[in-house]
Structure 1
């Protein structure tokens, strides 16, 4: 029996998760929901503040009550709800350092309650990548650590925490983005490890997340040569069908990483990438931030045409739609959304965060030294996953400009992504030359040379740092 193009179109849009431009709901999103659109994803550019976000989500729910509303709310460096002001959660790397799975679960459930209060029912978190490459430009402090079993325990705790409050979790980036030194937002990374290493390291946290009942798993735009030497995971049946569905037994929704990333679509364009992802086994396609109506319609047409021509089997498309529809039904928004939870208290942290800091001998000497303690924060370019979110001591009013450092003060110079060429090192040398006792604070994943490492730059981490260094808010 031939399926009409109208029916194929409804199937196609049932697999799509576009972003959109602006801080209000575009008319085309409302129209496409009526035509079967499965999901939308909110990004930092869609958020001005809590009241505006609440209104945006209420408008979405009014126009599209069954829509899956997704967001990358990892906690720590990557936040969308708190994009203008900085995350109220410590983030994976510091939670991993503290190594208390109950604390990780509590942090995740706090995130879940906040999402549920806005009517958001899909959290594109946690990151379960094992950060085995210190120079990794995109994972870093988003990871629970560099040991697979350690990451696995915390990944399962995070999944349990988010889903315990009725929000779907999504473990990412399968089969692993931790052993790369290339950001897939900009290019196509490749992981060259033997199959037994991949199985014991990269796949172990995904096994744990699956055992914890994770609803979704997100693909990576990474070529993993031990499985498929030619195609990125997002477009590889060997990765998605043979390994994820077959060997690991995952039966939930496979979500593509954003298809506007260079690692996915730089050579083919987003519409072709969408078709390839569905053919390979993805169920829900994240089209990327600031999706335009024109781009969205081009993707729809490409998927319809691929299905009509037989390149994308109708059965594969129907299977994807059915999985997404089941997810939406199971994690449907509760009628009482918006009632509470939008501003989670931080009291549960109980001052524990400092215990996860890495503190060198120079810091102890600096704390004992005379002089007024001040913090100078040096600008550090973020990766595209993090964006321009507020971070570090500056986000909580703890910093002094270098030119305003008073005579006799002792200085902590803070930054993140501290490669050898980072401008922070010049600032620190300059302050030392002026006679200031000076230490270097890395607010991210350590790359060597820092005296103190916080393993994250969220506002709660910055507040803990300020208390530890004795620097009061300005």
Structure 2
């Protein structure tokens, strides 16, 4: 049976939610059923309301039960995602009963590929045991600027050398694949040279970005080690004089798909980051990202919280197709890529 436009559009959304237990997750469960969501993303900390004690993570058994419950709501199995890079970007912390992890920076400093594989395998085994099938990692940004607050400042880069980054990222991916967990290389076309944080506003890397920041992406793509690539919300006037990467057809379709030859799923960074939300708004950013070539729109629903965000995004995309702003074939292309990824992961037959 041919899926409807709404069913296709729902598969292009990955949405965060509040609640640790099935009884607390009625809203997201309803969205999965009614809006046909393609994926969910888990966080441990509540960002929009710090008075709330927790987000989605309390213990291994609790996460396992939560993921199992939400998967049961889906007609097409969900991408169940988390940012588990290691080090400071670490949702599954020891305080909740999970293994200690190491940052990309720490592993890059040791510079032992076997050691990176071993530590990455611990992460992959942990995710697999919980029913989480997508790790939004590795970071393949270069350690390219000493004043970078979000990559350098949080120890998220393996190295300033693109070949070292590519080598360790490849081990990270292989370790995950050994345990049937997909990965997402980020942040294309490079966030390492930024001097500001896209969570907080528009970030311009026109003067600091260098072509060598593409090398880790090129290596992973050439070696067949990219399940998914995440776009950055950075503005790079040398690549597109008008739009940030996530909304840029020149960057996503021209550079990533055309020049680098990536045919897999492109996921946006969180569409609620201020670099996008404060500049463009949902009505513009949602259709523009899809038109640019992005396949999956991520709404962490944590920087700000809106229990109706899934329905809003679906409605915006449906209207965009009906008005001619987004071509139906763009929805079909992205839907087909998402289903192909799920098939590759063994989620659908």
* TM value normalised by structure 2: 0.88
* 8 A Cα contact 1:95 1:103, kept in partner: yes
**2:214 corresponding residue in structure 1:** 203
Residue number among 128, 142, 148 corresponding to 1:136 in the alignment: 148
Secondary structure at the aligned position of 1:203 is classed as helix
**2:49 corresponding residue in structure 1:** none
* 8 A Cα contact 1:155 1:208, kept in partner: no
- Written as runs of structure 1 = structure 2, the 5 A alignment for 1:297-312 is 297-312=311-326
Pairwise CA distance, 1:135? 1.2
Residue number among 8, 12, 19 corresponding to 1:11 in the alignment: 8
Residue number among 66, 70, 81 corresponding to 2:81 in the alignment: 70
Pairwise CA distance, 1:130? 0.2
Whole-Å separation in 1 of the counterparts to 2:200 and 2:19 = 24
Whole-Å separation in 1 of the counterparts to 2:232 and 2:9 = 22
Residue number among 57, 82, 101 corresponding to 2:93 in the alignment: 82
**2:17 corresponding residue in structure 1:** 20
Pairwise CA distance, 1:182? 0.6
**1:425 corresponding residue in structure 2:** none
Pairwise CA distance, 1:82? 1.9
* 8 A Cα contact 1:116 1:333, kept in partner: no
Whole-Å separation in 2 of the counterparts to 1:250 and 1:120 = 24
Secondary structure at the aligned position of 1:202 is classed as helix
Pairwise CA distance, 1:84? 4.5
Pairwise CA distance, 1:274? 1.6
| 5+ long unaligned stretches in structure 2 | 45-54
Whole-Å separation in 2 of the counterparts to 1:258 and 1:288 = 6
* 8 A Cα contact 1:47 1:84, kept in partner: no
Secondary structure at the aligned position of 2:137 is classed as coil
**2:269 corresponding residue in structure 1:** 257
Deviations 1:5-56 (A, max 9, x none): x922222111000101121342343333334221111111211222221221
* 8 A Cα contact 1:176 1:220, kept in partner: yes
* 8 A Cα contact 2:31 2:310, kept in partner: no
Secondary structure at the aligned position of 1:171 is classed as strand
Pairwise CA distance, 1:219? 0.2
Whole-Å separation in 1 of the counterparts to 2:207 and 2:147 = 17
How many residue pairs get aligned? The number is 327
Secondary structure at the aligned position of 1:145 is classed as coil
Secondary structure at the aligned position of 2:280 is classed as coil
**2:71 corresponding residue in structure 1:** 61
Shift in CA distance, 275/109, structure 1 to aligned 2, threshold 3 Å: same
- Residues 1:112 and 2:124 aligned together: yes
- Residues 1:244 and 2:241 aligned together: no
Secondary structure at the aligned position of 1:74 is classed as strand
- Residues 1:145 and 2:159 aligned together: yes
Pairwise CA distance, 1:87? 6.1
Whole-Å separation in 2 of the counterparts to 1:310 and 1:238 = 20
Residue number among 281, 294, 301 corresponding to 1:289 in the alignment: 301
**1:444 corresponding residue in structure 2:** none
**1:438 corresponding residue in structure 2:** none
Q: Flag the structure with larger Rg.
A: 1
- Residues 1:103 and 2:115 aligned together: yes
Deviations 1:167-189 (A, max 9, x none): 11100000000001110000111
Deviations 1:199-248 (A, max 9, x none): 2x210011122133210000000011221122110000000011100111
**2:43 corresponding residue in structure 1:** 43
| 5+ long unaligned stretches in structure 1 | 335-474
Pairwise CA distance, 1:112? 1.2
**2:47 corresponding residue in structure 1:** none
* 8 A Cα contact 2:94 2:100, kept in partner: no
Whole-Å separation in 2 of the counterparts to 1:198 and 1:87 = 36
* 8 A Cα contact 1:38 1:325, kept in partner: no
Secondary structure at the aligned position of 2:194 is classed as coil
* TM value normalised by structure 1: 0.66
Secondary structure at the aligned position of 2:183 is classed as strand
